[in-house]
């Protein structure tokens, strides 16, 4: 018997195309159909979608650079946020050895995080840098005795000339004196 048609589609609902082969059977007028289940594991390691709970907008996802940037309003607390994400079929992500569950796992996004995305095959992986930063800011300096950029954009400065001074609330590290 020779195959009369071949169709590749997801028959069992697992996200993989299965192969259905219909053959004409000369012994039976109805013929028969054989379905071959695809057991090949996916090797994709992409982050296809990413956002933060409670915020609208699309992340800037750069597959070539393995980076994700998501912007939130200024003064948003970045220390305890839940990400919603979509990975390649069958892939899973970890941050510092903790398996990430979309919409469940909380992370501190005040510094860039490395998402380790492991493909379904258990071998192929990709490390992604995920940055949550304040929107519309080139830099944000908290005046905490240094010139470190708190915006997530990496525009750190160096204090040259001014010295720390006591502010109106008595703190000795939140103000500079220019003499």
Question: Counting Cβ atoms within 10 Å, is residue 119 exposed (0-12), middle (13-18) or buried (19+)?
Answer: buried
- One-letter-per-residue 3-state SS of 29-93: CCCEEEEECCCCCCCCCCEEEEEECCCCCCCEEECCCCEEEEEECCCCCCCCEEEEEEECCCCEE
- Reading the chain (179 residues) residue by residue, the pLDDT tens digits are 455 555 666 666 666 666 555 555 555 555 555 555 555 668 899 999 999 999 988 899 999 999 999 999 988 999 999 999 999 999 999 999 999 999 999 999 999 999 999 999 899 999 999 999 988 767 777 767 677 887 667 888 887 777 778 887 788 777 777 66
Contact indicator for 136, 76 with CB cutoff of 8 Å: no
DSSP label of 168: T
Contact indicator for 136, 72 with CB cutoff of 8 Å: no
Q: Is the pTM of this model over 0.85?
A: no
Q: Residue for token digits 């840098």?
A: 129
d(CA 70, CA 85): 12
Q: Which H or E run contains 130?
A: strand 125-134
DSSP label of 149: B
- What percent of the residues of the chain are helix, what percent strand, and what percent coil, each to the nearest 5? 0, 40, 60
């Amino acid at each position: 018997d020779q195959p009369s048609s071949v169709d590749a589609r997801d028959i069992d609902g697992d996200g993989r195309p299965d192969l259905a082969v219909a053959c004409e059977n000369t012994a039976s007028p109805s013929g028969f159909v054989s379905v071959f289940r695809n057991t090949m594991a996916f090797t994709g390691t992409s982050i296809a979608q990413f956002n933060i709970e409670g915020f609208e907008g699309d992340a800037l996802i750069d597959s070539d650079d393995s980076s994700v940037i998501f912007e939130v309003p200024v003064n948003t607390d970045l220390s305890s946020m839940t990400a919603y994400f979509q990975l390649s079929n069958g892939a899973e992500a970890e941050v510092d050895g903790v398996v990430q569950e979309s919409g469940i796992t909380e992370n501190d996004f005040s510094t860039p995080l490395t998402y380790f995305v492991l493909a379904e095959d258990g071998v192929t992986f990709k490390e992604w840098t995920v940055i949550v930063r304040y929107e519309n800011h080139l830099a944000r300096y908290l005046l905490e005795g240094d010139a470190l950029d708190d915006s997530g954009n990496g525009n750190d400065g160096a204090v040259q000339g001014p010295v720390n001074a006591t502010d109106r609330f008595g703190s000795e590290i939140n103000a500079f004196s220019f003499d």
